[in-house]
Amino acid sequence: MERWRKPVAPVAIQQDTRRDFHDGNVWRQHIDVTISPDDLARMKLGYVCLRCWEPHERPFPENCTLCGYSMAAYQARDIEHEFEGEVHVGPSTSYGEEIERLREERERRIWTPGSSIYLN
């Protein structure tokens, strides 16, 4: 598959506590979406629409072919405004800690109290 055709897949989605009114009466719930560094780079380079995530063969078309968002005029500015930083996705332990945890878990499965036989 050509890189520009690759769909954007979120790595994580989390509901945000912020809410505000949209169009006066309707609540709009905010969400935090985490995407891969590669997908963010494609958005910054203009190959993926910031709003609907539609991939484009050429960077920064005047308007997105799917949703009509003005990519050429607003995408770079909106990414700067909306990007909130990098987030670690994965285990909160280091590799060393995880290996030690797996060792201990394995030992607990193998050894059970009272099952040992001692010979004199």
Going along the chain, which residue ranges are E strands?
A: 12-22, 26-34
**Cross-strand bridge partners of residue 19:** 29
Q: State the pTM of this model.
A: 0.64
The answer to whether residue 3 scores a pLDDT higher than 80 is no
Contact call for residues 46 and 74 (beta carbons, < 8 A) = no
The answer to whether residue 88 scores a pLDDT higher than 80 is no
The pLDDT tens digits of the residues spanning 10-54 come to 998 888 776 666 666 666 677 888 999 999 999 999 999 999 999
